[in-house]
Amino acid sequence: GETIRLLSSSQVITSVVSVVKELIENSLDASATGIDIKLENYGFSKIEVRDNGSGIKVDDVPVMAIKHYTSKISSSEDLERLTTYGFRGEALGSICSISEVLVTTKTAADDFSIQYALDSNGHVTSKKPSHLGQGTTVTVLNLFKNLPVRKQFYSTSRKCKEELKKVQDLLTAYGIIKPDLRITLTHNKAVIWQKTRVSDHKMACMSVLGTAVMSSMVPFQHCCEYPEINLSGFLPKAESDNSLTSLSSSERSFIFINNRPVLQKEILKESVLLAVENVLKSLYGPLPAAVPGESNKTDVTSEDMFVHRTDQTDVAVNEMGPSGNDEL
Ligand code: ADP
Ligand code: MG
């Protein structure tokens, strides 16, 4: 039992960045408008994600980190119109089995926040009142404590720095998709990355990427035969001068599927449609033949709303998420 649980957890949670991603998505699902991420020792000693979202109801606390518990789906109809990032109830439980987890939370109805300590099965072992405002703070200590090989893999300073860079890339991506979200990233007590609330996606890009990088990219939006799947993002201009920015072309590619960042920097302009077609084929079987000159084209415009917000997350994207690309 223990071994199987550890095995499945270590597939969901493979790195610091995957913990951060799961926690941020929970915060976004809880309608947070501000998220503060604090890392110590590149996240291996401590990862803390604090949000100002809805908080967790007292009744939900005992089950929140039990595998396959989710407060987000209650009927099969819900499954067909998913509007949240999470729905499998796997993340928090998985994180518990490979680290020490504290959850501090307060809803609008609560008088004060309570900090809960969870054991490796996701059960609450102790609780105490605390002083935080509305929202949830998840603290993850000693990640991979029981996975020495995984821990060893991240023991070099190069690996650690790469991991920190991936966290920043992830925040950059969420910063772009969520203009009205405030984010800070602190490492060993120093704020190393932040984004303020802005009014639209273009401003969000400016603020996280800077104007020089922005001017070397084009937004794209692609609607395919499957209306539930929306592909959007930013790609480097074909003729762009790399010397203008410190970022390479692949670092200037941001691809979102239904508002979820795809962390696969190798995907470049030419291969995007191919990559997506492959995903669709694997999920839905062969594509219907495209009608020439219709719908099967990519719209590249440099103005207006470039990131199409369907605010819909679907099963397909989740299925491709952690296992479908090596970065997560
Ligand atoms: P899922 O997101 O798939 O539901 P998780 O394991 O990520 O599963 O989270 C389990 C449950 O814990 C969620 O369904 C939610 O009820 C609660 N939860 C976790 N993080 C937060 C948060 N930051 N704010 C509010 N509720 C949360
Ligand atoms: Mg979740």
Walk me through the domains of the chain, giving residue ranges and CATH numbers. Answer: 2-195 (3.30.565.10), 210-324 (no CATH)
Q: Whose CA is nearest to atom 11 of ligand 1?
A: 64
Decide if 137 contacts 50 (C-beta within 8 A): yes
Q: Write out the two tokens for 142.
A: 């000693």
pLDDT higher at 202 or 114: 114
Strand arrangement, sheet containing 217-223: 260-262, 254-257, 230-236, 217-223, 298-300
State the pLDDT at residue 143. Answer: 95
Best of 12, 23, 26 for a ligand 1 pocket test (most atoms within 8 Å of beta carbon): 26
CA of 64 to the centre of ligand 1 (A): 6
**pLDDT at residue number 264:** 56
pLDDT score for 323: 34
- pLDDT digit string, tens, across residues 121-142: 999 999 999 999 999 999 999 9
What pLDDT band is residue 213 in, cutting at 50, 70 and 90?
confident
Query: Mean pLDDT throughout 256-283?
Result: 61
Mean of the pLDDT values across residues 283-293?
Answer: 51
What are the percentages of helix, strand and coil residues in the chain, rounded to 5?
A: 35, 25, 40
- 78-125 pLDDT, tens digit per residue, is 666 667 777 778 899 999 999 999 999 999 999 999 999 999 999 999
Q: For position 239, what pLDDT does the model report? A: 61
Q: Which residue has the higher pLDDT, 300 or 253?
A: 253
Distance 91 CA to ligand 1 centre (A): 8
Confidence check: pLDDT of 12 > 50: yes
Cα–Cα distance for residue pair 298/310, rounded to 1 Å: 17
pLDDT the model gives residue 293: 41
Q: Give the contacts of 104 (CB within 8 A, at least 6 positions apart).
A: 113, 114, 115, 116, 130, 132, 136, 137, 139
Determine the average pLDDT of the residues in 197-206: 86
Residue 321 predicted with pLDDT over 50: no
Q: Please compute, for residue 265, the number of CA atoms within 13 A of its CA located in the half-sphere on the CB side.
A: 13
Q: How far apart are CA 188 and CA 195, in angstroms?
A: 19
211 compared with 192, residue with greater pLDDT: 192
Mean pLDDT of the region 171-177: 90
Angle at 282 between CA 278 and CA 286, to 5 degrees: 80
Cα 86 to ligand 1 centroid, rounded to whole Å: 7
Q: Residues near 166 by Cβ (< 8 Å), separated by ≥ 6? A: 15, 16, 17, 263, 327
- Ligand of minimum distance to the alpha carbon of 72: 1
Ligand 1 site, CB within 6 A: 22, 26-27, 29-30, 51, 53-54, 56, 60, 64, 70-72, 86-93, 136
Query: Ligand 2 centroid vs 309 CA: distance in angstroms?
Result: 20
C-alpha–C-alpha distance, residues 119 and 125, integer Å: 6
C-alpha dist (Å) from residue 69 to 35, 118, 201, 244, 321: 23, 15, 33, 48, 19
Q: What is the pLDDT of residue 276?
A: 62
Q: Which two tokens stand for residue 28?
A: 């976004």
